[in-house]
A and B are shown apart, each in its own frame.
Chain A
Amino acid sequence: MIANDLSPSEHLRAQVMHLLSGVSEHGDQHLAEVERDLVQMDVLLDEAIKKLCASFIAIHRAVDLQQEALNGLLVDGMATPEYVARFEALRGEINQNVGAAVTGLQFQDMTSQLIGRMVQHLAGLRDVFGALDTNGTVLAESNNEALLAMLSLISDRVGVCCTEGGGGVRSTVNQRHMDSGDIELF
């Protein structure tokens, strides 16, 4: 709360300082929450993919064993040609779906990379909000030169943060769909 006996320029200085500190503090708090959620998301995705892969491999093994048993029956001549054809068609369908599942189960590799990149960007943004903090500086009341000097210093700090943060986080995942990628032999 600003006292009523402040001059307009003192009021301005106080408001600017208050704004910068507020943006810095609240901005950092929100980003910390986002970062926490992203890290948790990554953990859950990691756990989910481990379970999915384990289940997929177990199901595939069971289907393989079932197929072996069926092949035994086919060899013994216990199935009609119609059933033989049906089993073959089913085997083809299973193989196709197994391939599609293997392609789909690679999603976590890409999402993990994207999350990692997001966390890096968040760290950079938190640095920017940190740079906005006035750190409790008390400005001289006589003129606005101190305020301008401080704003210039903060601007420089933000610039350094942007330069340091922007260069290191390269986009490495551009896939928009879980379709198998190109193959090129040199």
Chain B
Amino acid sequence: MKTILAVDDSGSLRQMLSFSLKAAGYGVIEAVDGQDGLNKAKQQQVDMVLTDQNMPGMDGLSLIKALRAMKNYQNVPILMLTTESGDDMKAMGRAAGANGWLVKPFDPARLTEVVKKLIG
């Protein structure tokens, strides 16, 4: 079973992500902020990372950069899931190493379609 790391400081958002992805047959590991996400990514290799941008402490862009600096996460798909939709932020995400940008709120069917496209 493929496993996805879902990083967001909003408990309800993590719950909906987890519900949607598990219903589609994926395993989900939740993290409450960037640092927690990084720690969990180091503890267990995941197949994909979905991260929010605006979080206390380590934000999403910083998490992406930290993950891309790890050899075992250089090719793992990382998607940003955030309220932000500005082109400048997307450019920063892309430069940091994100593979895609999803604007909240997400539709579960569309989300799982994208995830399936990236990791099967």
List, in ascending order, chain B residues with CB within 8 A of A60's CB: 19
Q: Are A102 and B10 in contact (CB under 8 A)?
A: no
Q: Are B16 and A105 in contact (CB under 8 A)?
A: yes
Q: Are A185 and B83 in contact (CB under 8 A)?
A: no
* Complexed CA–CA distance, A105 and B106 (Å): 10
Find the A residue at minimum CB distance from B97: A186
The answer to the question of A162 belonging to the interface, with a C-beta cut-off of 8 Å to chain B, is no
The answer to the question of A120 belonging to the interface, with a C-beta cut-off of 8 Å to chain B, is no
Q: Are B101 and A102 in contact (CB under 8 A)?
A: no
Give the tally of cross-chain contacts (CB within 8 A).
Answer: 96
Q: Are B110 and A180 in contact (CB under 8 A)?
A: yes
Give chain B nearest CB distance to A175 CB in angstroms: 7
Q: How would residues 71 to 102 of chain B score, 1 for a CB under 8 Å from any chain A CB and 0 otherwise?
A: 00000000000111100001000100011111
Give chain B nearest CB distance to A103 CB in angstroms: 5
Q: Are A106 and B106 in contact (CB under 8 A)?
A: yes
Q: How would residues 88 to 116 of chain A score, 1 for a CB under 8 Å from any chain B CB and 0 otherwise?
A: 00000000001100111111111011000
Q: How would residues 35 to 57 of chain B score, 1 for a CB under 8 Å from any chain A CB and 0 otherwise?
A: 00000000000000000011000
Cβ-defined partner of A181 (8 Å) among B8, B54, B85, B94: B85
B residues 6-42 with Cβ under 8 Å of A?
8, 10-13, 15-16, 19-20
List, in ascending order, chain A residues with CB within 8 A of B118's CB: 185
For chain B, the count of residues having a C-beta within 8 Å of the partner chain is 34
Q: Are B13 and A103 in contact (CB under 8 A)?
A: no
Q: Are B100 and A110 in contact (CB under 8 A)?
A: no
Q: Are B16 and A102 in contact (CB under 8 A)?
A: yes
Q: Are B83 and A174 in contact (CB under 8 A)?
A: yes
List, in ascending order, chain A residues with CB within 8 A of B100's CB: 183-186
Give chain A nearest CB distance to B33 CB in angstroms: 14
Give chain A nearest CB distance to B87 CB in angstroms: 10
A186-B94 in contact given A103-B105, A103-B107, A181-B105 (Cβ < 8 Å): yes
Cβ-defined partner of A172 (8 Å) among B12, B84, B98, B101: B84
The answer to the question of B109 belonging to the interface, with a C-beta cut-off of 8 Å to chain A, is yes
Give chain A nearest CB distance to B101 CB in angstroms: 5
Find the B residue at minimum CB distance from A48: B12
A-B contact pairs, 29 of them (CB 8 A): A50-B12, A57-B15, A60-B19, A98-B108, A99-B108, A102-B16, A104-B105, A105-B12, A106-B12, A106-B13, A106-B106, A109-B13, A110-B104, A112-B10, A113-B54, A172-B54, A172-B83, A174-B85, A179-B105, A180-B106, A180-B110, A181-B85, A181-B103, A183-B100, A183-B103, A183-B110, A184-B100, A185-B118, A186-B101
* Other 7 A-B pairs with CB < 8 A, given A102-B19, A106-B12: A50-B11, A99-B108, A103-B107, A104-B105, A109-B105, A180-B105, A182-B101
State the 7 A-B residue pairs at the shortest beta-carbon distance, nearest first: A181-B103, A180-B107, A106-B105, A109-B10, A185-B100, A49-B12, A109-B13
